[in-house]
A and B are shown apart, each in its own frame.
Chain A
Amino acid sequence: MTKPSPETKHQPWFWTSALASILLRLVLIVYFPNTLNFSSRPEVSTPVTSLRRLAEGYWLKQASMSPYAGSMYHGSPLLLSILGPLTVNRGEGQTSNLLCGLAFVLADFITAMLIRGIGQLLQAADIQSLKLLGAGGLSKFSENFASGDIAALVYLWNPLTIITCLGYSTAPVENLMIVLSLYGACMRLAPLAAFGWVVASHLSLYPVILVIPIVLLIGSGLDTPPKKLFLQQTHGDDHKETTNLSLNVSTFSWKRVVVFFLWASAWALYVLILCAISLKEYSGLGEMFKRTYGFILSVEDLSPNIGVMWYFFAEVFDFFRNFFLIVFHINIFFMVLPLAIRLYHRPCFLAFVYIAIVSILKSYPSVGDSALYLGLLGLFVNALADMQFSFFLFSGYLGTLLLSPVMHNLWIWRGTGNANFYFATAMAYACFQIILVVESVSSMLNHDRALKRGTATVEKKVQ
């Protein structure tokens, strides 16, 4: 069933495509800096990711004021120190953030390479699990594509990723950190995973919930079919095999998890010390937490974006505002535990579902978040080969994303529409995202069930 070296067959094709997409971004950044004005679109740049606000925060810092004064910048001081100097190089008042653009292209490229790495690890683990389950008859249950290559190319060539890269938002950096933590966890390198997780949560609050899939990855390894299937196999096989299997199946190494948490606390301490040093003349860590995490949690800025929270909080009475804030944010946390219970044997897929849910329900979503989970969706093509409604979802995404700028134009520039038009497209977009999440989870569960039936029939044949 194994094809003759599929990786080598795909590789030259992969590298040319990847380099072509990088070249496209470079051409668009260098030659069309002002015509494609993506950074002014609300779908692309949000108050927490906008580079313009970062530049203002950096200028305030250079002028010996706290970067959070004036309520423009709401990000991390570390990002200010890294990306801030790159925003200063402007000539003749033109907004040519060329160096920042190059930095974001680099971040995209590294993210794609890391996704490819994760995909290769996942594929190897998949092949191994299928072999352990008696893979001969099970080949028809999953196609064998180079999912790493496909996912990396989907990420690089996704128009949403390109638009985010050209739109001067810091979302590529956040995506890079999230993927770095997942990669570290897949490679079972606790320091790398801890670093990625701490920095990702520091930059935007929501990757905190990724601690569950990362712990599962570090503790018990990559995605496998449900453990029950392995235990079924022990009935008809040699005794030697069963001991190997039981070793593989039942270990959850708490030692590694403890090491991970130690590294995480070390990195967190380091990051907090750096932030404190960076802000010590102004106001310190308290203000940083209030302006970054507090801003994200309290939804102070109600400018329209592609999410659903701005419209609601523009209408809610002050008396109920805190109550509804709690309701909206707990919505994410309520979904964490049941999903973890159902999908604990597939931690990478669990991470994908978490990222998708966060990008629907977070307070300031943008298309950069969608770019990330659409790229990660490519990692699971083998299992999701039978996803229903994929055509409907694709056209729905396309239609909504094209309609959203038109409705914005109708509302703001022409004055013949109003906020309801724009919010309608935001709701439709959220609907399609939810359908995507539900369909992918159900087809993954179907895949597991198919495997279970497959092993049951194989077992019957053996017996």
Chain B
Amino acid sequence: MTSSPEDDHPKPKQRPIIRLVIFIIAHSFLFCVACTVAGVLALLLLPVLAKKTYVSENALMPGSASPMISDQDVSGATRFINELNSLTLKSPTAGIEIPRLIALHMANLGGEVSYHKFQNQPNKFHPLHFFTSPDAEANIGNSSCESYATNTVGIIRAPRGDGKESIVLVTPYNPVNLSQNEALSLGIAYSAFSLLTQVSWLAKDIIWLTADSRFGQYNSVAAWLRDYHTPSFGGVGKLHADSCHGNNGVHESKLDMIIETEVSDTFRRAGTMAAALVIKVANTGEESGQDSLNIYAEASNGQMPNLDLINIVSYLAIHGQGLHVKLEKLKSLLDSKWLKFIGELFESVGKIARSLNPQWKFGIPANEYVEGSATLVSSLYNQALGVPTGSHGAFRDYQVDAITMEISPKLSRNTKGRQTEFLFRGGRLIEGVIRSVNNLLEKFHQSFFLYLLTSSNKFISVGVYMIAFLLLVAPLPVLAAYLFSDAAKSNPNSENSKPSKSWRWLYHSKTIFLTHLWGAIVSVIPYFLYQIPIPGSGFGSGSDSEHVARLFLWGALSIFILSVVLVFSGYRSTQWALLKSVMVLAAFIGLCLMSVINFATAEIGALLLVPMCLMIKPLKVAGKLQSALNMVLVIVEFPGVALYLVKSAFGLQNGSGYVEFWYWLESLWVWNSATYIYICMVHLPCWFLCFYILFHPCNV
């Protein structure tokens, strides 16, 4: 179409933008390479860019009051621990006795005690669970008495408070098999609880939940939270629970009488929860000179609690109690040579920058860099999986900020004096945290929700890590535009049966849509696989061979459905350039969506997907080196293979490949992780399309 002068209708407001876009598209190769390299570099640079944490909410004022915990509280705790230990050793029905003992002590201290009975709910896999709210499931199950567990809940009502808010302390323990560490954690919480019944500064109610974790720590807390937030008015389950409770054998009448008068059967509540702390005691087995504190913060789908909560715990632990605060690190990375090399490189760059201009404070020591990256990688991995790292994850579903504090004493603590000192330390720490959270007028909102931690006092906020991600995915739309305009220019034939130039992509988008539909079907197949009874199995109780059988069945079904889709979708008559363009745009939209839902998954997914998308070309068109690289990439990027390589690279491998893979997938389903949906609906279709483009017949 020749353009006569009257057709040059200028669009003045669009012209500079269009010029810029055309410029970028013309240099798309350079732009893509530069952006990808910059993205990877920014990711490696993240530990250097971490800033020191600070307490953002001024009302918190951690450490501004001196601890009030006294010998009386700690000695009471020691007595409590001794009683627990003796009960564990002596009594065969400890599973029922221990909750009653705890209830007795709570009542003696002056709190309101109630029992919460719940059943072990078998985790069901349903493909749409990610999109529904957590309390949409009904609490029906078989009602045998063995499947009931009892949480004991003690509540201190603040004498001058209004009863609208509460702070929760959780101590998980297994009453059937109480370990010494769990007894210690119960003791620490007891000392804090006994202090808090007497203080005058309490403005929020305190809930102490001793969670019966015989069916798992997370399940107990999740069940209590579910019943807390969904009041039910006299259901059937409650009657069963009560009948079980009354049918237990003979017990000491004194215990019985006291309990019957002071413990209530109704579910007691204390208002909205401002924060929750899960307290555990562990043996790290390391010989270190200090008691140490491990903080676990990741909840489901990569959500983190408000950074202020971690800040106050970390501040009080380090400055108040002299504890050594640690976060989970990937041990294998601490020894890796290339990471040390990169650390030294950044350190030297920092020194050069500082020598040029003393005001440029850039660069951290190499060993700090290595430790920061190890923490960052571990944090990213945990967030990317979408599986909570502890029972604090159950609180995040109800918008309550919670962390797990795992206090580990230094070795040689078996003496009584050592144990008392340990109880003091833990009690003071908890008292300090509760005193800070007590000061809050609103829920945590000031500090960051979207952050990554490189150590207990260094963080990277969303404004910084998003740049790394955006640099990595920016080449994708540019590549799509380049391929689209290239295909439009190089194909001037106008057969009458095809739509005109601007709408040709519709045909290819149908192909892409069908591929994504296949991905969605693949993601739903395991639900039906579980309905098919493989002989002698229920959910989660199958043997390894059944899991392998299910895995292969899944693979076979997927391939079968794929061949059906291939027949219908007319893959034959596509142009590879337009197909790649639409696929790259679909990958871009998928990655951007995922970055909002769970950033860590999107970052790792982008690292895997972007190089493959950028480099893939049909074997017939590309040069030899590029073709070889493409083949390697396509083999590596298949989801199963990629996971295997990642895990073995980081030394997380345990067990044979297939069963490990199935267990890993099961854990994703059980936690309603969005990562599973991402893998099946974004990564798998893109991988298959790249595979197809690689072997494209190229006759168009």
Contacts and interface: CB of A to CB of B under 8 A. Distances in A.
B499 A406 contact: no
Contacts of B505: 390-391, 394
B503 A402 contact: no
B93 interface: no
A387 interface: yes
A395 B589 contact: yes
A414 interface: yes
A390 B503 contact: yes
Given A394-B509, A414-B399, A403 B592 contact: yes
B596 A143 contact: no
Interface in A446-463: 446, 449-450, 453
Contacts of B132: 35, 37
A399 B303 contact: no
A415 B398 CA distance: 10
A416 interface: yes
A388 B592 contact: no
Nearest to A421: B596
B195 interface: no
Interface in A378-415: 385-388, 390-392, 394-395, 398-399, 402-403, 406-407, 410, 413-415
Which label, helix, strand, loop or mixed, suits the secondary structure of the A interface?
helix
Interface string B270-298: 00000000000000000000000000000
B180 to A, nearest CB: 38
Interface string B6-42: 1101000000000000000000000000000000000
Contact of B502 (A390, A395, A402): A390
Contacts of A410: 596
B596 A387 contact: no
B643 interface: no
A415 B303 CA distance: 11
A401 to B, nearest CB: 10
Given A394-B509, A395-B589, A416 B449 contact: yes
Contact of B499 (A385, A392, A402, A450): A385
B589 A416 contact: no
Contacts of B509: 394
Given A406-B596, A453-B4, A385 B303 contact: no
B596 A403 contact: yes
Given A385-B500, A394-B509, A399 B592 contact: yes
Interface in B467-508: 481, 484, 499-503, 505
B636 interface: no
B133 A413 contact: yes
B589 A402 contact: yes
B303 A143 contact: no
B502 A398 contact: no
B625 interface: no
B303 A416 contact: yes
Query: In the complex, which of the residues B449, B501, B592, B596 has the most CB atoms of chain A within 10 Å of its own CB atom?
Result: B596
B597 interface: yes
A385 B502 contact: yes
Nearest to A392: B481
Contacts of A395: 585, 589
B234 to A, nearest CB: 17
Contacts of B133: 413
A187 to B, nearest CB: 29
B559 interface: no
Contacts of A394: 505, 509
B502 A386 contact: yes
B596 to A, nearest CB: 5
B7 A386 contact: no
Interface residues of A, number: 28
A24 to B, nearest CB: 13
Contact of A386 (B303, B450, B501): B501
A210 B60 CA distance: 59
Interface in B297-323: 303
A149 to B, nearest CB: 14
Interface string A361-393: 000000000000000000000000111101110
B519 to A, nearest CB: 15
Contacts of A143: 499-500
Interface residues of B, number: 28
A330 to B, nearest CB: 23
Contacts of A35: 128, 132
B593 interface: yes
Nearest to B500: A385
Interface in B413-456: 449-450
Interface string A404-442: 001100100111100000000000000000000000001
Contacts of B303: 414, 416
Interface string A196-215: 00000000000000000000
B20 to A, nearest CB: 15
Contacts of A453: 4
Nearest to A382: B500
A402 B500 contact: no
Nearest to B126: A35
A399 B128 contact: no
A449 B502 contact: no
Interface string B122-154: 000000100011000000000000000000000
A386 B7 CA distance: 15
A143 B500 CA distance: 8
Contacts of B499: 143, 385
A403 B449 contact: no
Contacts of B593: 399, 402-403, 406
Interface in B575-630: 582, 585, 589, 592-593, 596-597
A450 B500 CA distance: 16
A407 B596 contact: yes
B484 A391 contact: yes
A394 B503 CA distance: 11
B136 to A, nearest CB: 9
Nearest to B401: A415
A450 B399 CA distance: 59
A450 B3 CA distance: 10
A450 to B, nearest CB: 8
A37 B593 CA distance: 21
A181 to B, nearest CB: 29
B503 A406 contact: no
A386 B504 CA distance: 11
Interface in A220-260: none
A406 B674 CA distance: 12
Contacts of A403: 592-593, 596
Contacts of B9: 442
A51 B592 CA distance: 33
A395 B500 CA distance: 19
Contacts of B597: 406
Nearest to A412: B399
B428 to A, nearest CB: 31
B491 to A, nearest CB: 15
A391 B582 CA distance: 9
Contacts of A391: 484, 502, 505, 582, 585
A366 to B, nearest CB: 20
Nearest to B4: A453
Interface of A: 35, 37, 143, 385-388, 390-392, 394-395, 398-399, 402-403, 406-407, 410, 413-416, 442, 446, 449-450, 453
Given A394-B505, A399-B593, A410-B596, 10 more contacts: A143-B499, A385-B499, A386-B502, A387-B503, A388-B502, A390-B502, A407-B596, A415-B399, A416-B450, A449-B7
13 contacts: A143-B500, A385-B503, A388-B502, A391-B484, A391-B585, A392-B481, A394-B509, A395-B589, A399-B592, A403-B593, A407-B596, A413-B399, A416-B303
Interface of B: 1, 4, 6-7, 9, 128, 132-133, 303, 399, 449-450, 481, 484, 499-503, 505, 509, 582, 585, 589, 592-593, 596-597
In the A-B complex, the 8 residue pairs with the closest CB atoms: A416-B449, A385-B500, A415-B399, A399-B589, A391-B505, A395-B585, A390-B502, A406-B596
